[in-house]
Structure 1
Amino acid sequence: MIFVNLTTTDLDRSRSFYTALGCDINPAFTDENAACIVWDENTFFMVLTHAHFSQFTDKQIVDPHTSAQALIALSRDSREHVDSTLTAGLAAGGKEPRDPQDYGFMYSRTMEDPDGNILEFMYMEPQAAEEGPEAYVAEHGEGPDQVPGY
């Protein structure tokens, strides 16, 4: 399992945003300080108020609107699913800070939640996921000459 801890300045707003994306709330781990957002059976977002988050670190809590501390990438099962996730998130107060990225074998869109935390939603062609992007590009002739990070 993975638990991603995010800060929020408005816990109710965060709960509404993530449920608009199709997530559930686990009430056993949710109170006035935190909400356990269930992405899937193995992935959870613990959205914590600043006061509660500060109990887990001695470091300064940055403002995600002005500083990046993490990029959280979540796969979707199709390009359309990427787009529908963004549509739901934008309607719930998210922002799309950059244009969609289409590499042929991979399609992604970036969204900031209402607190500025960066979420990336992506779809990768199964062949590229299994054999690597070069195999997909060699067979299909699509994609850039060089993809950062690949």
Structure 2
Amino acid sequence: MASQKRSFMISLPTTDITAAIRFGTALGFKPNQAPEDTTVHFECNESFGIFYSTHPVFGKWLPSGREVVSAKTANEVVLTVSVSSKEEVDALVERGIEAGGKRGPNMVPEGGSGCGYIYSRSVEDPDGHLFEIIHHTSCGPEDDSKEDDN
């Protein structure tokens, strides 16, 4: 019997499934909405997905006594998405904003992080979850001609 390939799923609460679908689709993720309109699964690639559910549904999965918090007032996680170019970073952030998101902070200072060159921008989804979009290359910002297209 073949073993199932491992995959990783992030579950996020949302106050508005329609807004979550619009935002995730704008970032290029493929939605697979459940028929009851309280959840949506985004297939980001073959081994990673994001699962949005309404606060009442999300709350059912939490231990007794725990509350669903608003990502607009508290953060527990930053979702980082790696893309193939600086232009794609900027384009995804702009598409996220056009889809109801809000520009987030620049996570990495201009010039990289000290571990190779990282170009980073961020965007919040309509619920306040923070998505960092990055492009990473081993060459410095002054030599983008050496970037790898992987």
* CA-based RMSD: 1.9
Does residue 87 of structure 1 match 2:129?
no
- One-letter code of the match for 2:125? D
For 1:124 and 1:30, locate their aligned partners in 2 and report how far apart those are by CA, in whole Å.
Answer: 38
Identity of aligned residues (%): 29
For 1:71 and 1:79, locate their aligned partners in 2 and report how far apart those are by CA, in whole Å.
Answer: 19
> Which sits farther off after the overlay, 15-24 or 73-82?
15-24
Aligned runs of 1:36-51 on 2, under 5 Å? Answer: 36-51=41-56
**What whole-Å deviation, never above 9, does each CA across 1:27-80 have from its counterpart, x for those lacking one?**
4x5642210011122111100100100111122111100101111111011111
Q: What is aligned with 1:57? A: 62
Q: Is the 8 A contact 2:83 2:134 kept in 1?
A: yes
Aligned runs of 1:13-24 on 2, under 5 Å? Answer: 13-24=19-30
SS in 2 for 1:65: coil
TM-score calculated relative to the size of structure 2: 0.78
> Which sits farther off after the overlay, 52-61 or 95-104?
95-104
- One-letter code of the match for 1:5? S
1:115 to 113, 127, 142: 127
Q: Which structure has the highest helix share of the two?
A: 1
Q: Is the 8 A contact 1:100 1:107 kept in 2?
A: no
SS in 2 for 1:44: strand
Structure 2 unaligned residues grouped into runs of 5+:
1-6, 143-150
Q: Is the 8 A contact 1:110 1:121 kept in 2?
A: yes
SS in 2 for 1:111: strand
For 1:141 and 1:89, locate their aligned partners in 2 and report how far apart those are by CA, in whole Å.
Answer: 25
- How far has the Cα of 1:15 moved from its partner? 0.7
For 1:109 and 1:30, locate their aligned partners in 2 and report how far apart those are by CA, in whole Å.
Answer: 34
After the TM superposition, list the runs of 4 or more consecutive aligned residues in structure 1 that deviate by more than 4 angstroms: none
TM-score calculated relative to the size of structure 1: 0.78
Q: Is the 8 A contact 2:104 2:122 kept in 1?
A: yes
For 1:99 and 1:18, locate their aligned partners in 2 and report how far apart those are by CA, in whole Å.
Answer: 20
**What whole-Å deviation, never above 9, does each CA across 1:103-147 have from its counterpart, x for those lacking one?**
34011011110000011000110x3xxxxxxxx5xxx598xxxxx
Q: How many residues align?
A: 129
Report the CA distance shift for 1:17/1:30 in structure 2 as closer, same or farther (over 3 A).
Answer: farther
- One-letter code of the match for 1:123? H
Q: What is aligned with 1:26? A: 32
